[in-house]
Structure 1
Amino acid sequence: MASDPIRVLLAEDMHLVRGALAALISRESALSVVAEVATGDAVLPAARVHRPDVAVLDVDMPGVDGITAAAGLRAELPDCRVLILTALSRPTVVRRAMAAKADGFLAKDAPPDELADAIRAVAAGRRVLDPALAAAALAVRDNPLSAREIEVLRQAADGADHAEIAARLHLSKGTVRNYLSTIVTKLDARNRLDAVRIAAEADWL
């Protein structure tokens, strides 16, 4: 006698992408999409109603992100496994997802058969980590900037000059200049703009 299909909740804010993913998953006889949502804050209410075996969550969604939604599922519905879909361009997300104890991490553009295999694997209690994502995450260095330095760099990223940053953060212009010089040195950046680029790409801002 055939076993029941694995019940899948799919969370993706882009309608066309969500439809394509749902179609790919539904082609597998062992998998069944029981709910589709477009926002992170809709994940938990839908999971309460449909009781999926696996939630496939995109990271970037309106409301709350996929990692926050994963943490909510872990706390309230621990039997629901979580597979996070993310992009290779943001490897720091993998570290956050691992900290949230998601069961699997897969590149968003992975081939359809890999997605189906990953869903089956996490449903069976196995951990799935895309090798390319794992390598990218390991290559990301820890943030060397202090909280105050990040605050200064955020202001610089908004286009504020030394005087504006000093006024906003109640610092002297000389102190701001020293902070920015230290930030450039710590990040091995060419200048302030390059420091903003490096920090933004690493999700430190």
Structure 2
Amino acid sequence: MIRILLADDQALVRGALASMLRLESDIEVVAQVGSGIDVLPAARRTSPDIALLDVRMPTPDGLAVAADLRDALPDCRVIICTTFGRPGYLSRAMAAGAAGYVVKDSSPEQLVNAIRRVHAGLRFVDPALAAESLATGASPLTDREADVLRATVDGGTVSDIAKVVGLSEGTVRNHLSSAIGKTHARTRAEAAKVAEGNGWL
């Protein structure tokens, strides 16, 4: 049996996934949780073979949880299962140790195939997202530029952003200018939107 832990903050989605997977004779859902903080304790308690994680969950998010599982329970392989088919999320997921990435509008057969492949020691990435990721390339932003753009999302002034990220106002302006150029945006708000849309934040 392939033992699965499901982590998704939407109870309806989580329940539907569990019901669907229980129809497979070789898959057993051993735990269901609704937030990132509950994943590691549930995984330690139930010893799943695979953790199926959403990206956007209450703290920490699925990408951070994937890295935590890789370090704490290396025998538990991770598949990201999310609404957000963004190239940046894919590259960040793989860097965090995920072995698979499936978008939620995939067919049930594709998800089950991904689970079986990952359990067999292989990788699985949604084919359309893999192609888009190759076309888009890696994030052009430095870590600091990404931090500054994340702080921009709330719409504060340069002074507000500087306080949030712990940099001088001049340094924040430099990072914003660079990020605007790299995203081909006209404003910092547009740059943040482009970066978020590509999964770089």
1:201–1:78 distance in 2 versus 1, CA, 3 Å = same
2:63 corresponding residue in structure 1: 67
User: Matches of 2:147 and 2:74 in 1, distance apart?
Assistant: 37
Distance 1:26 1:202, change over 3 A: same
Indicate the residue corresponding to 1:186 in structure 2: 182
Deviations 1:136-166 (A, max 9, x none): 222334444556655665565444467x569
The alpha carbon displacement at 1:78 in A equals 1.7
The 2-side partners of 1:60 and 1:101 are apart by 17
The change in CA–CA distance for 1:66 and 1:193 in structure 2 (over 3 A counts) is: closer
Match of 1:87 among 83, 86, 89: 83
SS for the counterpart of 1:35 is strand
Aligned residues: 198
| 2:86 aligned with 1:127 | no
Distance in 1 (alpha carbons) for counterparts of 2:132 and 2:169: 37
Kept in 2, the 8 Å contact 1:104–1:118? The answer is yes
Report deviation, 1:89: 4.2
Instruction: Please say if 1:16 is aligned against 2:16.
Output: no
Measured on the aligned residues, the alpha-carbon RMSD in Å equals 2.9
SS at match of 1:18: helix
Following the alignment from structure 2 to structure 1, what is the Cα–Cα distance between the partners of residues 161 and 76? 49
Per-residue Cα deviation, 1:48-83 (whole angstroms, up to 9, x for no partner) = 111112111111111211222222222222222221
Q: 1 CA distance for matches of 2:151 and 2:51?
A: 37
The answer on whether the counterparts of 1:11 and 1:56 sit within 8 Å (CA) in structure 2 is yes
% identical aligned pairs = 51
With 115-124 and 183-192 compared, the bigger mean Cα shift is at 183-192
* Residue number in structure 2 paired with 1:196: 192
For structure 2, list consecutive stretches of 5 or more residues without a partner in the other structure.
none
Task: Say if 2:117 is the partner of 1:117.
Answer: no
TM-score (norm 2): 0.81
Distance 1:167 1:84 in 2: 33
Q: TM-score, normalised by structure 1?
A: 0.79
For the pair 1:54 / 2:54, whether they are aligned, the reply is no
State yes or no: 1:31 paired with 2:32: no
Q: How far apart, in 1, do the equivalents of 2:142 and 2:8 lie?
A: 34
Please give the alpha-carbon distance, in whole angstroms, between the structure 1 residues aligned to 2:114 and 2:12. 21
Rate the CA distance shift 1:132–1:183 in 2: closer, same or farther, 3 A.
same
Letter in 2 for 1:124: A
* C-alpha distance in structure 2 between counterparts of 1:59 and 1:35, whole Å: 18
User: For residue 138 of structure 1, what is the aligned residue in structure 2?
Assistant: 134
Letter in 2 for 1:131: P
1:53 touches 1:80 (CA, 8 Å); kept in 2? yes
- Rate the CA distance shift 1:156–1:59 in 2: closer, same or farther, 3 A: closer
Q: 176-185 or 68-77, which moves further after superposition?
A: 176-185
SS across alignment from 1:138: helix
TM-aligned CA deviation for residue 27 of structure 1: 0.6
Alpha-carbon distance in structure 2 between the residues aligned to 1:117 and 1:166:
44
Amino acid at match of 1:105: Y
